[in-house]
């Protein structure tokens, strides 16, 4: 690109390109780096989320060594780097914890549940799936533990896709889990309805089988009554 004033356009392609995608954990397998790669960025807007994820991806993220002071409640409760307010203030005021934009202006990523909220959610889900069959209960628990993949807008090449697959999945929200329970409940009702239909079909088949047996017994009785008559007729013909 030329340094000429106003000449900000360039026609040629990029001169230096990396052959392989950058991997932040290629030579760094420390627990801190693994924890950063698994961290889910929340309570921020989409733009701030992309900025923080970029810092994590290219090893520019610098975690806090101690809690910062919140700009709203003035308490040392900010425990995530690049955030200016704490999680509780961001959730209460419905603003981005980094740029302080309101939820009316930008879409804000839902906050991660606290350990207490996770425990309450687990108790509630266990109570709701108590009436399920063992197969449906195991299917829901697998669905809940697996989580969902983080959505990526940009198309990824093969190496970036491999790196993305290593990333942790995001836990489902309470609304998504309730929707899954509703689907499993409807599926169980359909299975019960199909079982009832099969039982009715079996009853019909049993009745048809009994009617066939009755008709066969009647035919055999008629045949047994006709056999002596035929024998008498044959004896009469022989005597003549």
| Total count of residues recorded for the chain | 240
pLDDT digits (tens, 9 = 90+) for 92-118: 999 999 999 999 999 988 887 777 777
63 and 162 in a single domain? The answer is no
84 and 151 in a single domain? The answer is no
Reading the block at residue 171, the tokens are 């836990």
The total of structural domains in the chain comes to 2
148 and 196 in a single domain? The answer is yes
Tell me if 117 is assigned to some domain: yes
Other Cβ atoms within 10 Å of 59 Cβ, number: 14
CB 42 within 8 A of CB 111: yes
Domain that includes residue 189, residue range: 113-229
122 and 215 in a single domain? The answer is yes
pLDDT digits (tens, 9 = 90+) for 3-48: 677 777 778 888 888 888 889 999 999 999 999 998 889 999 999 9
Dist. CA 101–CA 112, nearest whole Å: 19
**Max mean pLDDT range (7-11, 92-96, 120-124, 159-163):** 92-96
Q: Report the pLDDT value the prediction gives residue 176, as an integer from 0 to 100.
A: 76
CB 55 within 8 A of CB 41: no
pTM score = 0.56
Reading the block at residue 77, the tokens are 């409760």
Look at 139 and 211; give whichever has higher pLDDT.
139
106 and 129 in a single domain? The answer is no
| Distance (Å) of CA 161 to CA 5, 23, 95, 152 | 40, 12, 32, 10
140 and 221 in a single domain? The answer is yes
Q: Report the pLDDT value the prediction gives residue 80, as an integer from 0 to 100.
A: 93
Residue whose tokens read 């079996």: 202
């Amino acid at each position: 690109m030329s340094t000429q004033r106003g000449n900000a356009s360039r026609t040629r392609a990029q001169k230096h390109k990396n052959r392989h995608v950058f991997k932040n954990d290629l030579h760094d397998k420390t627990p801190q780096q693994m924890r950063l790669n698994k961290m889910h960025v929340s309570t921020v807007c989409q733009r701030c989320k992309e900025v923080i994820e970029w810092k994590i991806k290219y090893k520019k993220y610098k975690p806090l060594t101690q809690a910062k002071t919140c700009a709203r409640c003035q308490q040392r409760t900010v425990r995530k780097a690049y955030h200016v307010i704490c999680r509780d203030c961001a959730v209460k005021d419905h603003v981005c914890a980094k740029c302080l934009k309101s939820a009316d202006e930008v879409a804000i990523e839902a906050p991660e549940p606290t350990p207490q909220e996770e425990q309450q959610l687990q108790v509630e889900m266990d109570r709701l799936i108590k009436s399920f069959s063992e197969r449906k209960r195991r299917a829901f628990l697998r669905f809940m533990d697996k989580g969902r993949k983080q959505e990526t807008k940009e198309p990824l090449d093969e190496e970036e896709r491999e790196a993305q697959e290593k990333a942790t999945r995001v836990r489902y929200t309470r609304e998504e889990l309730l929707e899954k329970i509703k689907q499993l409940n409807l599926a169980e009702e359909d299975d019960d309805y199909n079982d009832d239909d099969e039982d009715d079909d079996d009853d019909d088949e049993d009745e048809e089988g009994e009617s066939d047996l009755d008709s066969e017994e009647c035919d055999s009785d008629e045949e047994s009554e006709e056999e002596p008559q035929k024998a008498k007729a044959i004896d009469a013909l022989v005597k003549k």
